[in-house]
Amino acid sequence: MLDTKDFSFFENNNNFDFKGFLLKILSYWKWFIVSLIITFTIAYQINIRKEKIYGMESLIVIKDENNALFSSSTNLVFNWGGTSDKVQAVITTLKSRLHNEAVVQNLNFYIKYLKTGEYNLQDAYGEVPFYVVIDKTKPQLSGRLIKVRFINDTEYKITIMFDTESVGLTKYSDNSFSNTTVALQKFEKNYQIGEEVNLPFLHWKLELNENPGFYKDAEYFVQFDDFNGTVASYRGLGVDIDTKGASILRLTMQGANKARMVDYLNATVEILRKNQLDSKNQFANNTIRFIDSTIVAMGRQLAENEDELKSFRKDKNIFNLENGGEMINEKISAFDLEKEAIKRKMSYYNSLESYLNKSDDYSRLPAPSVAGIEDPNIVVNVAKLISFSTERSEMAYSVKNDKLFQEFDNQMEAVKRVLVENIKSAKVSLGGDLQQVNTRLNSAEANIRTLPEDQQDLLKITRKYDLNENIYKTFLEKRSQADIIKASNLSDIQFIDPAKDIGGGLIGPKTSVNYVMALFLGMLIPLLIAFTITILDNSIHTIEDIQALTQIPVLGIVGKKTTLNNLAVFEKPKSALAESFRAIRSSLQFMYKKQNIAGAKTLMITSSISGEGKTFCSINIATVFALSEKKTVIVGLDLRKPKIFEDFNIENTYGVVNFLIGQKTVDQIIQKTHISYLDVIPSGPVPPNPAELILGDSMKVLLDELKAKYDYIILDTPPVGLVSDALELAPYCDVTLYIVRQNVTKKGMLSIVNTKHKRGELHHISMVLNGFENKTKYGYGYGYGYGDYSAGYHEEEPKGFFGELKSKILKKK
């Protein structure tokens, strides 16, 4: 039947020992040193091998420049939503694929120039003494290094390593890819500077810079990169709104080559400015184109009218014909001009209305001012449509989101509907004006009919000529105004600070950060390993571990053995290890006295498993009793694995087994040792039934006879965790020592002794921690826990090679 005493784990103290845990972690200090050396070495190598990273920037401002082609308050390209949306549009454009394609194409940045650095190839843009001019319509070797070595001032050598029979080619005119076969060998060929190179895989001409410097025997590399990949790498351009103003943008780039970044930052702004100004001039260009076509037609009509007038005047007295009709002619001409202006407006409205209904590209609409229209509603909405139409055509290359297109188209449709309504209202108003002008014109024409027929004919011809001439002059004036406005137009994007290399700008590699990371990882990695080992480690290490698992008292602590055999106390009687056994002897004597045991005392030594130091402790505890001139005998009762005889150089041919089976007497199995007062009874031959022999009456007889001969009887027994022999011997013993070995005995094994003790199968039991080594202290026994304060009380035990060497040197002195 189970007893509650069996459940010894209820007695366990599960509180976490932080101090013990910390000491355990600190015991791996060598790991931390090695780890820190490794991580700092890696950080150092990274810092010296990694390319330096620089940061470059430029500042631009986005303004609203007015254009007088419409009115003093109307912008040429109307900005939907105000300045903030224009800023966002610029930011989007700078990051767009289409814009960056134009910049990369303009700078030929898909051609990479490299030089050999200390550890790797470095970007040599801006440093090489040459540049290559390629034929974009022909394929170039893609992604492979082309070595260029200058033989002399006028000649260079191309070297290409071909490790495959097929190589990739890129044609930059359309960014198409192809392949060609090559010889599997190193290609080398000399060329003159400026000579056309025409190979199946290379088409270029190498030219020197304006000031190439000294370049003889210099070596460089050229590489043709993928165009789309190059563009993608520059779309990460940093564009941020400056804190000093919402219309100020800060453009930033990071990279290893400052000259390349400076050129790219300035080129991207210049191309943006040009595109924006071209877009801004679109309305002016439309107007000029419309005026030019009108002027041509009007010029033809004017020439015809002039010829007709010349023909009529021939053989006629023009002075008499003109006399009397001047006033009527001036009045009618004024009405004709007024009527023509209305018809021109009406014609523009009809054309605009038809264009809106039949087309969806409004980028080519002329300005309403060419027809003399100054209605702000018409002017603004036409400008909106032109701006929207131009922007939408650009979005088609950079935006792939159908939802954005739909929203944009909805805005355009809304402006279109408003403009159509404005046109209808304006046409109604013009219709009324035209009717009034026609009425006045009809009245004036009635007066003409009262004149002679020749005079009427002259007025008719002169009237057409004057009208066309006035219209022609008007369009010439507007053409001139449009040219002036176009020439005076400024881009809304202006430089505040162009990108410039003024020194500095270094932002990486972050050497200090790398070293901080090295320190962090150098501490973290061994800490995690040590933590894992500590958490998974189930071995007993300290007295606190024992006390947390059992209520059995700890009688003593035995340090780590430093001798080759088990006779540690006899060979080094003044050592700290010998002193720890003397301390155990004192504690045992106290226990015997407390139990009022007179005469011979019996001590049983056992453990959980083999290898925990039972025999070692048995020999040395017996030795300290013998050194105090007490007759002591060690009885080898580990009948299954006898080995106590080995350290005393005695035979195991006969022993306890021989007595128990009646072959030998007590005196015949006792063997003397070279240690005074210490005898040994070995186990003897290994029996087939050791447990049954121990259970027999012969064991009691043996112990009774030994009590009559000796003061102390030390029983070296088998582990209780493996066999039951020690439990059978417990009734014959006054005290039981249970040996626990540091780093060997598992914590779960103590549950066995707890159970035996709770049941009363083991009585008067105490623990001994064997093989203890405190890595945070120095020495054992008295030295254990006292460190250097133990000096002079017992012999120092040399630790390792250097410790032994130091001991030998001191002895010679």
pLDDT at 785: 41
How many residues does the structure list for the chain?
813
Angle at 220 between CA 218 and CA 222, to 5 degrees: 155
State both tokens at 801: 């090679």
Of 117-131, 303-317, 763-777, the range with the lowest mean pLDDT is 303-317
Task: Identify which of 648, 755, 637 has the alpha carbon closest to the alpha carbon of residue 690.
Answer: 637
Task: Identify which of 295, 286, 288, 287 has the alpha carbon closest to the alpha carbon of residue 473.
Answer: 295
Of 19-23, 74-78, 677-681, 687-691, the range with the lowest mean pLDDT is 74-78
Q: Are strands 219-224 and 146-150 parallel, antiparallel or unpaired?
A: antiparallel
In a domain, 632, yes or no: yes
In a domain, 771, yes or no: yes
Rounded (10°) CA dihedral 363, 369, 372, 378: 70
455 and 573 part of one domain: no
In a domain, 108, yes or no: yes
Number of domains the chain contains? 4
660 and 529 part of one domain: no
In a domain, 495, yes or no: no
Residue that wins the pLDDT comparison between 551 and 89:
551
Contact call for residues 171 and 137 (beta carbons, < 8 A): yes
129 and 206 part of one domain: yes
Average pLDDT value over all residues in the chain: 80
- Flag whether pLDDT at 400 surpasses 60: no
In a domain, 501, yes or no: no
Of 260-274, 417-431, 567-581, 766-780, the range with the lowest mean pLDDT is 766-780
32 and 64 part of one domain: no
CATH of the domain at 768: 3.40.50.300
269 and 341 part of one domain: no
In a domain, 493, yes or no: no
In a domain, 763, yes or no: yes
274 and 314 part of one domain: no
Highest average pLDDT, of 74-78, 331-335, 669-673, comes from 669-673
532 and 604 part of one domain: no
Give the mean pLDDT of 558-586: 89
Q: For the segment 341-369, what is each residue's pLDDT rounded down to a tens digit?
A: 777 788 778 877 777 777 776 766 776 76
Cis omega before residue 509 (within 30°)? yes
Of 314-328, 473-487, 563-577, the range with the lowest mean pLDDT is 314-328
State both tokens at 598: 């007179």
454 and 574 part of one domain: no
169 and 318 part of one domain: no
Q: Identify the domain boundary among 280, 315, 333.
A: 280
Residue that wins the pLDDT comparison between 665 and 416:
665
Task: Identify which of 563, 426, 495, 440 has the alpha carbon closest to the alpha carbon of residue 60.
Answer: 495
List Cβ neighbours of 134 (8 Å cut-off, separation of 6 or more): 108, 111, 140, 172, 203, 204
In a domain, 670, yes or no: yes
Give the mean pLDDT of 202-227: 93
453 and 563 part of one domain: no
Q: For the segment 666-714, what is each residue's pLDDT rounded down to a tens digit?
A: 999 999 999 999 999 999 888 888 878 888 888 889 999 999 999 999 9
CA atoms within 13 A on the CB side of 208: 15
Q: Identify the domain boundary among 241, 265, 280.
A: 280
161 and 290 part of one domain: no
pLDDT at 132: 96
Coil, strand or helix at 20: helix
Task: Identify which of 420, 530, 386 has the alpha carbon closest to the alpha carbon of residue 34.
Answer: 530
Range of the domain at 513: 4-20+28-50+509-536
Confidence label for 38 from pLDDT (cuts 50, 70 and 90): very high
Contact call for residues 135 and 203 (beta carbons, < 8 A): yes
State both tokens at 696: 């027999």
pLDDT at 789: 40
Q: Does the predicted model carry a pTM greater than 0.75?
A: no
Q: Identify the domain boundary among 536, 571, 598.
A: 536
Task: Identify which of 101, 117, 121 has the alpha carbon closest to the alpha carbon of residue 109.
Answer: 101
87 and 213 part of one domain: yes
